[in-house]
Structure 1
Amino acid sequence: MIMERKWYKQGNGLLREMKEWLPGPHELIFWYLGQCGFVYKKEAIVYIDPVLNSLVDEKGDNMRYYPSPFSPDKVTADYVLCTHGHKDHLALETLTGIAKADLHTKFIVPGDCVETLVEAGIDRPRIIEACAKEELQLPGLTVYPIQAAHPVHQKTAQGKDVALCYQLTMGNIRILHLGDTYLTQQLLNDLLALKAPDLFFAPINGGDYFRTARDCIGNLNMLETANLAIMLKAAVTVPTHYDMVKGNTVDPLDFVRILREIDDAARWQLPALGEGVIYLPLSF
């Protein structure tokens, strides 16, 4: 179990790097912000599931193993995506801080989360509702949402999606970000219908009786994510959801071992907190 992690880069140094690093014509740069949070940079700057504020439980106790790398009022972004409404993915203090800091940022969320953002003070025209299997074509970004199973595939009484996975296309790069989900036949069929991802971001923390008893919904486990990466022919797999929240961590090196046992040619990446990674497809 991971008890403490340190930032490779944070604060002004990380912010400066994210501003100054420019991807080449066929490249994409991504930075790891912890849990399921990443920044993707190509023609657009995209944040997904950022948590740039404290996390506390119902008793007021700190749930994070490490602090935020910078405050949300320092963010410059074209788009911020959230996969679902749990506070380690949709962090309202983070989203409202970004909304105030960068007035051109658009927020892309499942339908079930739209009113949550509106009630928090984000103007409705800045919020884009993501609907399963309805492609969003935006400047610098194409989003194809898929219904996640967290813990089951679910819509509200009004027919709004509750939790989503996202296929993102940025230029020549395809990103598949699963957010939080179990593996179901429906999800497997939906994922196999997609083109192979260049970058595959998927949870590895799994689930068990004791976490479920604490109302901690599980995810794909390491073996499931490793097998899924091979089935989807992912060029590079980046495991997620293993290090931020107390009582819900695993060792990502165990995932790497499992993945290599299945296919020792499989490519993977374990970025440090705040580390930038320049990705160039093998075809270039």
Structure 2
Amino acid sequence: MAVTKTPIEDVAGDFHRPAEHDGVALWWLGQAGFLLRHNDLRLAVDPYLSDSLAEKYRGTPFPHRRIMAAPVAAGALTELDFVFCTHSHTDHMDPGTLPDMARASPRCRFVVPAAERMKAMERGVPPDRLILVAAGDVVVLSGNFSAAVVPAAHEERWQDGEGHDFFLGYKFRAGEKAVYHSGDCVPFDDLGDWLGVDSIDVALLPVNGRDARRKANGIPGNFHLLEAIALCRNAAIPLLLGHHFGMFDFNTIEVEAARSEIRSLGASSYAELIQPMTRYDIR
């Protein structure tokens, strides 16, 4: 596997360009949001490109003001084939983003947890373009591009009365290349079993951590950086790209301290924090 990084100035323009290889290209949208492209198929995962949370929480102890500008407008993404949401928290299933994407890409379909069907429609997803999934499902996106659905534990693994998980992750496989997006997640007992024996080239893991203060205020957490590194080591994943930081001042990390920790662990060759305005090519 080879991964190259290319600085870019225009996310939409770069995303819409013809693919230059048959691997996977990805772009970070901030928080847990990503764009992925394989050949001529394009998708988004957990896009939060609005200020809907700032409007919702204005005047509260956690006002959710952006400290990272959206790198692209949702309506500028006109060639999306799929949008994946890992769960219904607004920074992952955004009513200020999804309707604009639906209008801009009229053939785009939306993959959401079966447990969150009603919320997806409330957030502006057209019912006839919904694909409902549960852990264990596999969504075929094109001939050799698929998404395997795995559970996630956003501090805890929650299920509805029918056993459908509220929090999911996705293993995107394009030929021999695979990218794992965990959704919001912490380590849980059988996560390694769900990742399976098939090789994963890149893990996109949230590294903003968790603590009692945030949890007491209704803000469940994610992997600590060391936990994310350990998962990748144990699952023989050669590259960790840490994300879910730099969006809200109460739910982020000290970036330079985290990079220093990666260096001190001797992990710089296989773990890093994702960079904005950069295309990552996985070949």
Per the normalisation by structure 2, the TM-score is 0.87
| 1:152 Cα deviation after fit | 1.3
| 1:119 Cα deviation after fit | 3.2
Matched with 1:63 is 65
Distance (whole Å) between structure 1 residues aligned to residue 146 and residue 263 of structure 2:
31
Distance (whole Å) between structure 2 residues aligned to residue 50 and residue 121 of structure 1:
14
Q: Give the residue type in structure 1 aligned to 2:193.
A: N
Matched with 1:42 is 38
**Alpha-carbon distance change, 128 to 214 in structure 1, aligned in 2, over 3 angstroms:** same
User: Matches of residues 1-284 of structure 1 in structure 2 within 5 Å?
Assistant: 13-20=10-17, 22-25=19-22, 27-43=23-39, 44-54=41-51, 55-56=53-54, 57-59=56-58, 61-75=63-77, 76-139=79-142, 141-191=145-195, 193-264=196-267, 266-280=269-283
Deviates more, 1:246-255 or 1:95-104: 246-255
Distance (whole Å) between structure 2 residues aligned to residue 92 and residue 28 of structure 1:
28
**Alpha-carbon distance change, 264 to 186 in structure 1, aligned in 2, over 3 angstroms:** closer
**Alpha-carbon distance change, 236 to 138 in structure 1, aligned in 2, over 3 angstroms:** same
Contact 1:52–1:72 (8 Å) recurs in 2: yes
Deviates more, 1:262-271 or 1:91-100: 262-271
Cα deviations by residue, 1:240-278 (Å, 9 ceiling, x for unpaired): 111112201103444444445555474234443221122
As a proportion of its length, which structure holds more strand?
A: 2
Q: Give the residue type in structure 2 aligned to 1:170.
A: A
Q: Give the residue type in structure 1 aligned to 2:38.
A: K
Structure 2 regions of 5+ residues with no counterpart? 1-6
| 1:236 Cα deviation after fit | 1.4
SS state at 2:271 partner: coil
**Alpha-carbon distance change, 197 to 258 in structure 1, aligned in 2, over 3 angstroms:** farther
SS state at 1:190 partner: helix
SS state at 1:96 partner: helix
**Alpha-carbon distance change, 194 to 241 in structure 1, aligned in 2, over 3 angstroms:** farther
**Alpha-carbon distance change, 47 to 214 in structure 1, aligned in 2, over 3 angstroms:** same
CA RMSD, 1 decimal: 2.1
Distance (whole Å) between structure 2 residues aligned to residue 80 and residue 122 of structure 1:
10
Matched with 2:3 is none
Per the normalisation by structure 1, the TM-score is 0.87
| 1:146 Cα deviation after fit | 1.1
SS state at 1:272 partner: coil
Deviates more, 1:203-212 or 1:131-140: 131-140
Contact 2:43–2:84 (8 Å) recurs in 1: yes
Q: Give the residue type in structure 2 aligned to 1:78.
A: D
